[in-house]
Amino acid sequence: MFGKIIIYLASAGWLLSFLFYLFYDKTRNEKLLKFARFGYIGGITSILIASFFLLFNIFSHNFQLTYVWSYSSKKLPFLLQFSTFYAGQEGSFMLWALWLSIIGIFLFFFVKNRVSEGFPLAFYSLVLLFITIILIFKSPFADLWESFPGGNIPKDFMPEDGRGLNPILENYWIAIHPPILFLGYSLLTVPFVFAISGWLKKDYSSWIQHTTKWALFGAGVLGLGIMLGGFWAYETLGWGGFWGWDPVENSSLIPWLFVTALVHTLILQRLNGGLVRTNFVLASLSFIAVLYATYLTRSGVLSDTSVHSFVDPGKVVNVLLLIFQGIFVVFPAIIFFARLKNLPKIKSSYKLNSREFLTVLGALLLIVSAVIIILGTSLPIFQGWVGLKKIALDPHFYNQWMLPIAILILLLNAISLYFAWKTTDIKTAFKSNIWDLIIAFVVGVVFTIFNNKNFAFGFLIFSSFFSLIVNIKYIVRKIRQKNLRVGAFVSHLGIAILIVGSMLSGGFEQTRTIHLIEGGKANAFDYQFELVSKEQIEKHLSDREKYQYHIKIASNGSNSILKPIVYWSEFNNFEQPFFEPDIKTYVSKDVYVSPKSISFNDFFTPITLQKGKKIQAPWAEKDSIEFVSYDMSSMHVGTNTDHFMFGLLLKYTIDGKEFDDNVYSILNMKTNSFSPVWRRVPTKDFAIGFTKFEPAENLEQSSIQLSFGQEMFVADVTIKPFIWLVWLGVVFIVVGFFISITKYRKQPAPKPSLREVDKEVTLEETQNK
């Protein structure tokens, strides 16, 4: 109840601050300002309290709340309990509101000292108002009996324990990646509110000054967040790569591409006043892209075509998200067209041989990439509209489009440094840098020959190395001059490193499947793999059976142990295992061992038995197995009513000794499937499984099948050459953004445009009078 009230208070606060800031801006009435601030501070405070309250509920295991029950449990370690805050949809909206509120505190002081509080904070409040409205309908504070109205759940019912986090998320990365990504998303709101506030006030240039730092910061943080997601997928989720052009990944990349394009076009307006409209559009688009990402990943529209699981939030929230998006598309569009005629006339045509021109081209390429990714990702939606069957898009689509774009971007990265602002003597520029080109060309040719004359690949390598060399040269040169404005070069260098890394790791990737029984060996590439032992970990947790497979990897006399993980969890009734890869990193490559399956190879012919019968054991003439009786004592598995534990009591006679043991199979009533729980035969190194049940009129006449097998660990071994270059590249990109925040060209927008704006404003004002 308390939580819900707080959310209502928050929305009231944001509504208040939206309206009053709006009117304050028109009237400049100090009284209105007081109300507006009251609402703004109230909104922030409420969101902070609500967030703490949610955390408190999580830590105090209040499973009365549907949200806490759905995603948390008593068994979760502290850090993961903390992460349940945003593990579900409700919580991720809460996290978004929380970040916006925290940013809102800084924004408050930022605008107070520089511009008027009015419009920027009004629209900022509007964004928060919408999110809090979603939080009202999709509340993390809903009680169980409210969430399941038909479920006859008594009021104040408190389940023993929560369902817990999806095991694949149980990793420290969930404490890192989502918060950073959401901080990035949230930061992109600021350029947007500055843009619309500026244009509404017919101020087309000073908002650019305030926006630059925020856009740089947003792009840096979002880029970091995206990369951490990729690293998480590679390092623990075992997806094999760091990027798969999945809708979820794409939808986070789109805003980043827009805001990065914005970072480039902002520079140009700061330099000579051009690209006024472009900057407005890009600032709006980066924010709209965030909303679109939210829509894509929260609405369930893509559930058929993605590896990520989507949960449909229900009609109300879907409609809300659509309205929310609609408003934030239409609103800036209206402002844009209303102000078009009013724009200052600035001659901003760039000469073909100027750095400006190349920068515009670069930004354009980023926008084109964004458009391609939007179209590809939204394809299922378009198909839904026109009533076509939804089809999945092969990642090939993106790779094929991004290849030429990447080449162009890299070439621009390099050549633009040869070019001076305004105008360049191209001949001399290239002459004095001819060695960069030659070296890059040689590297490209070598790679082309090395890689089966794949010219596209070679061309990309050539352009990467060209960009790499030129950027390093300029960074060194600048630092020698004691000029630390190297952010752009560092980021561009990062792009080149990233692309080289992904080309090498993807293009020269090789995979082999290995099969290992305990003590067994297998060879793949130049390595020998040996399954030394299997160790159960996290034994104190009863909801899982988690095993580390200790695999010795030997090559040229050096040994090391890899520990990929296979585990079964109550979360899916032990139906299918979850896997975690392990990686051996060398300077030149990663050896990536990713478990694929645990299977049982047939050891002996299966035997069929009826109750009470005894049969000779397949491994030795003297030994025998007797099927004593059925065991139905532990029928239910976990919490699921569809699953039954079907058991048999067996009596073995092995080397004259008798052993009693039970073997079980899990019967799934929904699918009618029968999955044996393999069990080691006493004193032997193989396992027995209850693999079939052939029903007859009664149990006595029914027969069962017992199979014998050895557990086999099947894994893909993948060689990923130089994949660390990918991580290094992204680190450079992000660091570059952060360098730029502190060390960027502090050059005011040129006077003429400012004067023109002033002139026009005064003109219009006099007309109004």
* Binding positions for another protein, rule: CB under 8 A: 66, 69-70, 144, 148, 150-151, 153, 157, 159, 163, 166, 309, 311, 368, 371-372, 375-376, 379, 389-394, 396-397, 400-401, 513, 515, 571-573, 575-577, 596-599, 601, 639-642, 668, 670-671, 673-675, 714
Contacts within 8 Å (CB) and 24+ apart, 75-78: 75/161, 75/164, 75/541, 75/543, 76/164, 76/165, 76/170
**What's the min distance (Å) between Cβ of 268 and another protein?**
17
Residue 1 CB burial class (10 angstroms; 0-12, 13-18, ≥19): exposed
Of 396 and 769, the one with the shorter C-beta distance to another protein is 396
Of 576 and 683, the one with the shorter C-beta distance to another protein is 576
Residue 684: CA count within 13 A, CB half-sphere = 22
Residue type, 713: F
Residue 654: strand, helix, or coil: strand
Of 106 and 157, the one with the shorter C-beta distance to another protein is 157
Of 514 and 648, the one with the shorter C-beta distance to another protein is 514
Q: Using CA atoms, how far apart are residues 252 and 182, in angstroms rounded to an integer?
A: 10
**What's the min distance (Å) between Cβ of 365 and another protein?**
12
**What's the min distance (Å) between Cβ of 139 and another protein?**
15
Q: Using CA atoms, how far apart are residues 706 and 691, in angstroms rounded to an integer?
A: 6
Of 570 and 623, the one with the shorter C-beta distance to another protein is 570
Contacts within 8 Å (CB) and 24+ apart, 469-478: 469/414, 469/436, 469/439, 469/440, 470/413, 470/414, 470/415, 470/417, 470/418, 470/433, 470/436, 471/413, 471/414, 471/417, 471/496, 473/436, 474/417
**What's the min distance (Å) between Cβ of 200 and another protein?**
25
Between the alpha carbon of residue 621 and those of residues 36, 560, 656, the distances in Å are: 90, 42, 12
**What's the min distance (Å) between Cβ of 475 and another protein?**
35
Of 602 and 758, the one with the shorter C-beta distance to another protein is 602
**What's the min distance (Å) between Cβ of 126 and another protein?**
31
Q: Using CA atoms, how far apart are residues 42 and 420, in angstroms rounded to an integer?
A: 50
Of 378 and 471, the one with the shorter C-beta distance to another protein is 378
Of 157 and 455, the one with the shorter C-beta distance to another protein is 157
**What's the min distance (Å) between Cβ of 390 and another protein?**
8
Counted residue by residue, the chain has a size of: 769
What are the beta bridge partners of residue 625?
615, 652
**What's the min distance (Å) between Cβ of 32 and another protein?**
42
Q: Using CA atoms, how far apart are residues 672 and 653, in angstroms rounded to an integer?
A: 33
Q: Using CA atoms, how far apart are residues 172 and 79, in angstroms rounded to an integer?
A: 7
Between the alpha carbon of residue 25 and those of residues 8, 542, 613, the distances in Å are: 26, 60, 91
Of 148 and 435, the one with the shorter C-beta distance to another protein is 148
DSSP state of 280: H
Of 11 and 57, the one with the shorter C-beta distance to another protein is 57
Sign (positive/negative) of CA torsion 700, 701, 702, 707?
A: positive
Of 391 and 763, the one with the shorter C-beta distance to another protein is 391
**What's the min distance (Å) between Cβ of 255 and another protein?**
20
**What's the min distance (Å) between Cβ of 391 and another protein?**
4
Q: Using CA atoms, how far apart are residues 313 and 290, in angstroms rounded to an integer?
A: 18
Residues 414, 443 contacting (CB under 8 angstroms): no
What are the beta bridge partners of residue 65?
143
| Residue 321 CB coordination number (10 Å) | 21
Residue 716: CA count within 13 A, CB half-sphere = 15
Q: How far is CA 582 from the centre of its chain?
A: 20
**What's the min distance (Å) between Cβ of 699 and another protein?**
23
Q: What is the residue whose two structure tokens read 């990193």?
A: 585
Residues 698, 630 contacting (CB under 8 angstroms): no
**What's the min distance (Å) between Cβ of 668 and another protein?**
6
Of 509 and 626, the one with the shorter C-beta distance to another protein is 509
**What's the min distance (Å) between Cβ of 5 and another protein?**
25
Residue type, 699: L
Residue type, 147: S
Residue 650: strand, helix, or coil: strand
What are the beta bridge partners of residue 171?
none
**What's the min distance (Å) between Cβ of 712 and another protein?**
8
Of 51 and 675, the one with the shorter C-beta distance to another protein is 675
Of 374 and 469, the one with the shorter C-beta distance to another protein is 374
Residue of 247, 240, 592 lying closest to 395 (CA atoms): 247
**What's the min distance (Å) between Cβ of 4 and another protein?**
20
Residues 287, 274 contacting (CB under 8 angstroms): no
Of 144 and 417, the one with the shorter C-beta distance to another protein is 144
**What's the min distance (Å) between Cβ of 506 and another protein?**
17
Strand boundaries in 430-555, DSSP class E? 510-516, 521-524, 527-537, 544-555
Cα 657-659-663 angle, rounded to 5 deg? 150
Outline where 78-188 has alpha helix (H). Answer: 78-83, 89-114, 118-137, 144-147, 173-187
Query: Tokens standing for 38?
Result: 């009251």
Between the alpha carbon of residue 764 and those of residues 161, 336, 338, 759, 767, the distances in Å are: 66, 18, 14, 9, 5
Of 324 and 713, the one with the shorter C-beta distance to another protein is 713
The string over 278-317, giving b where at least 16 C-beta atoms fall within 10 Å of a residue's C-beta and e elsewhere, is: bbbbbbbbbbbbbbbbbbbbbbebbeebbeeebeebeeeb
Q: Helices 315-339 and 189-200 meet at what angle, rounded to 10?
A: 40
**What's the min distance (Å) between Cβ of 165 and another protein?**
12
Of 400 and 559, the one with the shorter C-beta distance to another protein is 400
Residue of 744, 659, 684, 657 lying closest to 219 (CA atoms): 744
**What's the min distance (Å) between Cβ of 1 and another protein?**
20
Of 637 and 681, the one with the shorter C-beta distance to another protein is 637
Q: Using CA atoms, how far apart are residues 67 and 89, in angstroms rounded to an integer?
A: 9
